[in-house]
Amino acid sequence: MGSRNEGNAAQLLDGKAISKESLQNTAALVREYVSRAGADAKPGLTIVQVGDRSDSNVYIRTKLKTADEVGITARHIKLPNTTTESELLSELDQLDRAPDVHGIILQLPLDSHEPIDSAKATNSISPDKDVDGLSLENSGKLARGELDDCFLPCTPKGVLELIRRTGVQIAGSQAVVLGRSKIVGSPMAELLIWSNATVTICHSRTKNIDAMVRSADILVVAIGKANFVKVDWIKPGAVVIDCGINVVEDPAAPNGRRLIGDVDFEQAVKVASWITPVPGGVGPMTVAMLMQNTAEAAVRALGKRGNVVWNLSPLKLQLKRPVPSDIEAARSQTPKDISRLALEIGLLPEEIEPYGRTKGKVTLDAYQRLKDHTNGKYVVVVGITPTPLGEGKSTTAIGLAQAFGAHLRKPVVACVRQPSQGPTFGIKGGAAGGGYSQVIPMEEFNLHLTGDIHAITAANNLLAAAIDARILHESTQSDDALFRRLVPPKKDKRDFSAIQLRRLKKLGIEKTNPNELTKEEVHQYVRLDIDPQTISWNRVLDTNDQFLREITIGLSVAKEKPQVPPRQTQFDITVSSEIMAVLALATSLADMREKFGRMVIGNSKAGVPITADDLGVTGALTVLMKDAIRPNIMQTLEGTPVFVHAGPFANIAHGNSSIVADLIALKLVGPDGFVVTEAGFGSDIGMEKFCNIKCRYSGLVADAAVMVATVRALKMHGGGPAVTAGTPLASEYTQENIELLQKGFCNLGKHIENAGKFGLPVIVAINRFHTDTDQEIELIRTLALEHGAFDAVACTHWADGGKGAVDLANAVARATESPSKFKFLYDLQMPLADKMRTIAQQVYGATDVSFTDEAKEQLQRLTATGFGQLPVCMAKTHLSFSHDANVKGVAKDFVLPIRQVWVSAGAGFVGAMVGTISKMPGLPTRPAFFDIDLDPETMLVQGLF
């Protein structure tokens, strides 16, 4: 620790020796980190320097050398002295986001010709990476005594270690700190205070400073004046720590200069009990503490990356009676900042990209960090067959999440689809839930959100444009001309792009030099020879517009190029695009890219499927969708997290939110938590596809199904009178009617049966209205249990928020205590027709299926071209178990007609069109947009519901 100077009273505190011991401990900590993080991982320290000050260069070289000795990867970023403040802040921000950088030092003073606020720059560094301990947050925690939750400034931390090595009792001692700088003096005083010393801070304007200093049992000097402290200022037996470094002229020194401290060392050593030399005292300790802080930062980061700390702070509801409109209820709550919510549920700062204050994107890095963690319970919420009265499925999913998170204090994430703007402005309205169980802000949720659907529109239509452009160019150019334009010379050299090489490989051409292709190989390469009659890829728009269901394109081109005739096509609504299905079923960015490449847009005239990869557009589609692949994060009215991602229609596509959102959510909630996801419509639509398609591709296993029903909807299935919008409900729906309810229960009973075929325990959520009687609720509960439900629970979450779904949440928790018995309905090796027949008979209750001649031919072709082992996606009305939307209750004795079959090769399923289903909804006589407006004074959206 130290040695006595010959003939003097004071012992030397040898900073070099003590720092060496500290560095050995740090090296051991680094080795421990590497053993946990992996052989290729090391703690990372980055030193940012502005300018080229010689003294800074010396300090930096010492830090870099020491870092290397203990196994820390240190990097020096030297910015020019022309660096602006914004450029420096940008550099620091990038380092803050880099997961391999654990510590950041901004070397002070800054040497720039441009004005830079050094305090602003220092405070821009994340407190978790501020290993200098100088940021406001770290300084504030030190001031409050939260020493275990901050990084201590390196010099004061080193000084405290030196004092402890003397064996002098700090608690109760009189300590004087001479100097009040933010880097040494002030934090040193705070450290001594929290070590229970009685501390006095002196500075250049302190009166009777000698008398003040003379009272010190422990004296720390950091005033920056050579030999400022005289021997007669020092109390005999005091511990003296000299932090000063001053250069003085000394003809006897090798270079004519030497370093001395702020204390007259030659005299002070005669009266002090312990004293630090200059150099060799505090300096080495400062560097050692920097290394220790960096290693500790890496270990903390590893802990955060490896563990999810769930610390959710729910928002309190202010319930009103009667329950106000959905938008009024939504606006009664002030959402928490989305970055705060992300941290509360265990996401790291670099894993969230805010889009304003109330919504954001979650990076896929979160899954990579947590992929080895145990999943939470996976619960799917579905409904009975929909009626105009509404069942409140979305509302129940949100209410259940609020119950788990805000009331039972369980980790929970709700994963829901993003609504299309077509229905929002058309007839359905919003899809954020309702009453006091909503996603907020509901106008953000229901409108553009973060632009994912617009990205899908752009990507889909880029591919559509590429198809027709390729037909045009192949129709009007020779093989040689096409080849010259497809593989143009650049600086007298021709090269294939990566996607072009993939096409060559697909064709069996192994050559990579364009000049080596034969004429036949050139012909094979440049001619897709698309058959316009087989094109299945349509343009899309996120607007309901029945006038785009049949259109003619290419009229202007045909006038100039008669060899390219116009063709008949149509617009679909964006959410029916295969791009949307791929987004929802992709498990990663790379997987999404591969799926895009496999998308089939039609056939060649020889019957060969043509893909997006053949058209060379896969990479561009991925670029357009690079942000859309990241789930959106929002919150409920009670401040619980919601992942909003993807929105395929359930009656046209597979009707579920994204796999990547569920994957991340299940890891975040952990084994004690729940992920509540919603499948579109009933068990025959969204839930069947959730199980047979989504769970196949995700590899996830569902634990339970929540089946949402209402008394009045079941009455309609029992033969209740028709409901007309804008007219009062018939008395059958507002008064007790046991007979009608009992007749209609058959619909719920069939849905419970369907869920059981997938091995899922069913909890019936009876979404209660004020007109429902206890006898009606009890009847549903009794019949549900008789039909195999695990439980049936009445809920009031629409009026009461999560509190009204606590019983439901408890029932779900009980149902998921047993291991999952989840299973698929069919084997992928079955012929496509048999898979469709299995769904029709087992789920819909059909006696058989029938196929049009067109559908039979399509099945044969898809099987012959290798698509026979894909799962199937039935496009069927959601309003009935059968293909006839007018048949309520349970349809019987019917044959399901399949009129058309197609492949979504990228998404990974074969679609079957049942009856007549349009992929482009229309607008009603009075669309919802009549009520939607913007208040120019408050900028609040009006009329959403």
Domains of the chain: 2-291 (3.40.50.720), 338-451+628-815 (3.40.50.300), 453-619 (3.30.1510.10), 832-914 (3.10.410.10)
Q: Please choose, from the candidates 407, 304, 378, the residue with its C-alpha nearest in 3D space to the C-alpha of residue 671.
A: 378
> What would the DSSP string read from start to end of 177-221?
EE---TTTHHHHHHHHHHTT-EEEEE-TT-TTHHHHHHT-SEEEE
Does 254 or 783 have the greater pLDDT score?
783
Instruction: Please give the structure tokens belonging to residue 583.
Output: 């987004």
pLDDT of residue 387: 86
Answer for the pair 443, 944: CB distance below 8 angstroms, yes or no.
Answer: yes
Q: Is residue 553 a contact partner of residue 569, using CB atoms and an 8 Å limit?
A: yes
Q: Band of the pLDDT at 593, cuts 50, 70, 90?
A: very high
Per-residue confidence at 726, pLDDT binned at 50, 70, 90? Answer: low
The mean of the pLDDT values for the chain is 94
pLDDT number for residue 4: 40
User: What pLDDT shows up at residue 8?
Assistant: 60
Which pLDDT does position 6 carry in this prediction?
43
Question: Residue 414: what are its φ and ψ, rounded to 5°?
Answer: -90, 130
pLDDT digits (tens, 9 = 90+) for 111-165: 999 999 999 999 999 999 999 999 999 999 999 999 999 999 999 999 999 999 9
The three-class DSSP label of residue 764 is strand
Q: Is the pLDDT of residue 839 over 60?
A: yes
Say how many CA atoms lie within 13 Å of 69 toward its Cβ.
18
pLDDT, position 350: 87
Cis peptide before 609 (omega within 30 of 0): no
Residue 177 near residue 213, CB atoms below 8 Å: no
pLDDT greater than 60 at residue 429: no
Contact 379, 707 (CB under 8 A): no
Q: What is the pLDDT of residues 287-337, one digit of tens each?
A: 999 999 999 999 998 887 777 889 999 999 999 999 999 989 999 999 999
pLDDT digits (tens, 9 = 90+) for 798-821: 999 999 999 999 999 999 999 999
Residue 606's pLDDT band (cuts 50, 70, 90): very high
Q: Please work out, in degrees rounded to the nearest 5, the angle formed at the alpha carbon of residue 927 by the alpha carbons of 653 and 420.
A: 30
Residue partners of 585: CB distance under 8 A and separation at least 6: 595, 654, 658, 659, 693, 694, 697, 907, 908
Place of tokens 């996607």: 499
* The token pair that represents 266 in the structure block: 């030659």
Tokens 């197609």 -> residue: 902
**Residues 6+ positions from 739 with CB-CB distance below 8 Å:** 718
Q: Residue 431: phi, psi to the nearest 5?
A: -140, 30
Catalytic positions, written as ranges: 63
